[in-house]
Amino acid sequence: MSLRPPMERQHIGESSSPRLRAHNGVRTAFLLLLVFVVLLSSVLSLAVGSRPIPANELSRSLLEAWQIISQQREADGISTGSLIAQLRVPRTLVGILVGAALGAAGAIVQGLTRNPSAGPGVLGISAGASFAVVIGLSYLGLASMHSMVFAGFLGSLAAAAIVHSLAVATGAGRGGEESLVGIVLGGAALSAVLLALTSGVLLANLTALDRMRFWTAGSLAGRDMTVALGISPAIGLGLIAALPVAARLNILNLGDAAATALGINPARVRGSALATVAVLAGAAAAAAGPISFVGLVGPHLVRPISGADHRWTVPYSALAGAALLLLADVASRVVVRPGELQVGIMLAVIGVPFLLALLTRRRLPEL
């Protein structure tokens, strides 16, 4: 009996199958479709807002914005090109990066925990970022958005390290698969503790509460180019690391015994997967706050095409997450114009019905 996983046997034995080639063709076409949707969402993000830009002016305004950015010349702050260069381009870039990070992290978490209703927040990462930012605002005198981003990133990494330690302790000496329980329960327990501590600190410091109320709802507003450039290395490295992690998750889901027989160290795979999620979700939470539902909804939107193969699900989810966050951000600028909602609130309006529908289905999708 061969111990090769089904996907590997299929790749080796049926590489010339017309049916397999057609399936891969569909997957490639869907990947290109997702890229197009992200590009279209980016154009909408640049054009729609409290000051909408008509289609006949958009190309000229984009050219002006490109000249301002590329030549690093002073913007007058009045023209539509200046508006795009100073506000909407950074906001769109942050939206793409954060959405892609949360989408990929959600797909990895669902594959790691084998739980289709899981998301990056289940690991306590968002709670760790929130607690670190609150401590920085209340006791360390953080004043700028960049210092808040840095504090949130450190807090998320610390939370992920604690959850990983709990998972290792839970799975020690019991075959390793029980560490999945340690990951979920450890993340839930840590989130509860950190959220309680965060609330306590905020209630004792009304100034910090006033500054945190917009960040905790999740928002892309007010993020400049330095925030986008600051999180891009971490998210870029996280997305690159997610690809080999996704391939190993396929083998790991066969069971620890089969994975070990194929030369895979289950504990190492789980550790690398958790570290990748920490980097992706941590950078996203630090830049935009604890945005929920992107990591939950994104993988489910693409799984009808990708199936249970994480090699396709993870990149699909990254693109779907970027498009979903950008479209939700565009909608948040329109529904209460001339004001706007925080994108986290808009995603909750979209995500809660989706989550309820997912939980009430008779049969959850298999991972």
Residue 144: give the domain boundaries. Answer: 6-10+34-360
Whether 272 maps to a domain, the answer reads yes
Q: Where are the alpha helices (DSSP H) in the chain?
A: 6-13, 18-47, 55-71, 80-83, 89-113, 125-139, 145-171, 179-203, 206-217, 225-252, 256-261, 266-288, 294-306, 310-334, 343-360
pTM of the model: 0.84
Whether 15 maps to a domain, the answer reads no
In the predicted structure, residue 337 carries a pLDDT above the cut 50: yes
Whether 17 maps to a domain, the answer reads no
Contacts of 241 (CB under 8 A, 6+ apart): 272, 275, 276, 279
Whether 19 maps to a domain, the answer reads no
Residue 289 region by backbone torsions, left for phi larger than 0, else alpha for psi between -120 and 50, else beta? left
**Digit-coded pLDDT (tens) for 18-69:** 776 777 788 889 999 999 999 999 999 988 877 778 777 878 878 877 877 7
Most confident of 199-208, 320-329, 356-365: 320-329
**Digit-coded pLDDT (tens) for 275-306:** 898 889 888 888 888 887 898 888 988 988 88
- Count of structural domains, the chain: 1
Q: Which CATH number goes with the domain that contains 38?
A: 1.10.3470.10
Whether 20 maps to a domain, the answer reads no
Choose between 265 and 43: higher pLDDT: 43
Whether 156 maps to a domain, the answer reads yes
Whether 39 maps to a domain, the answer reads yes
